[in-house]
Amino acid sequence: MKKKYLIFLFLFLFVATAALVVVGMFFNKTDQEKQNGLTNQYDISSKNTIAYVKYDKGRPQLYLYNKKLSIDTLAVEYKENMIILDPSFSHDGSTLAYITSNKDKETGLESTVHFLDLRTKETRNVFTDSSVITEVEFTPNDSSLFYLGAGTFENYSPITGKRPHNFDVYQYDLVKKSHKKWTKLKQYSIHSLNVAPSGDRVYVQRDDDSDVKSAEDSFQVKQRIFEIPLGHPEKLSVISDPDREVDVFSFTITPNGKELIFQSISNADEGGTFEYELYKYNLDSKEEKQLTHFGEYVGDPVVSSNGKTIYFMLDKNFAKGDPDYHLYKMNIDGKKEEEIPLPK
C-alpha cells in the first residue's frame, strides 16, 4: 500500500512539474509577444518614403510606405528575440540602413548593421560588432556611416539594472571597410546622432558634465546638444542654449545647418506629469520658439530634405501604459499639424 502511494506521489510530482514547465514556457513566450504596434523608430527619405518599425506579437517588422509612389511593403521581419533600431536613409534615397540586436543583452552583446536596397528590396549585412549600436547616420556623400556604440552592458550602480554604457562616436568607411573611433567620451548615454550637411562635424545629445567635480554637482547636470568637429574631436562644445535650465532631448538639425529642432519639457515648473513638446532654436540669432502644443509627449523630430516639413512622433498614451505612437508632420514654422495614417 505504501509502495503504491509513493508511486502515485512521484507520478503526481512529475506531472505537476511538467505542467509547470509547460506553463512557464507559455508565459515566457507571451512576454516576448507582448510588444505590439508602432514604435518611434522611423525615417523619411529624400523621395518622401517612410521607413518605420512596428511589432507584431513581439516580431520586429520594418515597413516602407509612400502613398504617392504606391509603396506599402513589409521589407523585413525578425524573430521575437530581436529588435530593429534606427532606420536611416542614404542621402540619395536608394539605401536604408538599420540595426538589429538581441532584445536580451545578457544573451550576447552583438549588433549588426544592415543595408536594404530600395530598388531591389534585397538586404545585406554591412558589419557586425560585439557592442550595442543604437544609431547610424550616412555622411553627405553616402560613402561611410557614423554610428553610436556602447562597449559594455553593466550596472550603473548597485540599485540600477544593467544597461549599455561607455558610448562613443564611430565611423565605418564603406569603401575601405574599416572602423574609426572619433571620441573618448565613455558616456552613460548619447543620443540623436546627426551629421552636419558639410560633413566635417557631427552633433549629439548628451549630459553636459564638463563641470562635475563632486557627487552634488552631478545632480545639476543638464542634457544639451554638442558639436564635435572632426578635425579636432576633443574640442567638442555645446551648441544648444548653454543657459537653458530645462533638459534638451531628441533633436535634429535642419538641412541648411542653421536651426535645431529639439524635444524638451514645456511644464517643468508646474509639477505633475511632464509634457514634452518640440522647439526650434536658431544657431545664429540664438532665438527659441515652441513649435507644438499637444500637452502630451512629442518627440523624435525628422526634417524633410527640402527643409520645409518636420515629422515627429506623438505618444497618446504617455505615462499611462504601453506607448501608442502616431506619426505627424507640420510646416517648419510649426503650423498645419497633420497626422500621417500609416497602414496597419
User: What DSSP element (H or E) covers 60?
Assistant: strand 59-66
Tell me if 297 is assigned to some domain. yes
Does pLDDT of 293 surpass 80? yes
- When computed from its CA atoms, the radius of gyration of the chain, rounded to whole angstroms, is 23
How many domains in the chain? 2
Looking at per-residue confidence, does 270 or 79 come out higher? 79
Tell me if 318 is assigned to some domain. yes
Tell me if 212 is assigned to some domain. no
Could you tell me which residues are beta bridge partners of residue 226? 204, 238
Does pLDDT of 296 surpass 60? yes
* 3-class secondary structure, 143: coil
- CATH code for position 250: 2.120.10.60
In whole angstroms, what is the distance from residue 282 CA to residue 204 CA? 17
* CB count in 10 Å sphere of residue 294: 18
In whole angstroms, what is the distance from residue 304 CA to residue 47 CA? 9
Tell me if 64 is assigned to some domain. no
The confidence score (pLDDT) of residue 231 equals 96
Write down the pTM of the prediction: 0.87
Tell me if 160 is assigned to some domain. no
The residues near 129 (Cβ < 8 Å, ≥ 6 apart) are: 110, 111, 112, 149, 179
In whole angstroms, what is the distance from residue 320 CA to residue 324 CA? 10
Looking at per-residue confidence, does 45 or 26 come out higher? 45
Tell me if 126 is assigned to some domain. no
Are 105 and 81 within 8 A, CB to CB? no
Mean pLDDT for the chain? 88
> For a pLDDT cut of 90, what percent of the chain falls above it?
77
* 164-198 pLDDT, tens digit each: 668 999 999 999 999 999 999 988 899 999 999 99
Tell me if 247 is assigned to some domain. yes
Tell me if 52 is assigned to some domain. no
Domain of 260, in residue numbers: 240-344
Residues 80-93, mean pLDDT to the nearest whole number: 97
Burial class (CB in 10 A: 0-12, 13-18, 19+), 310: buried
Residues 225-243, mean pLDDT to the nearest whole number: 97
Does pLDDT of 9 surpass 50? no
User: What DSSP element (H or E) covers 311?
Assistant: strand 309-315
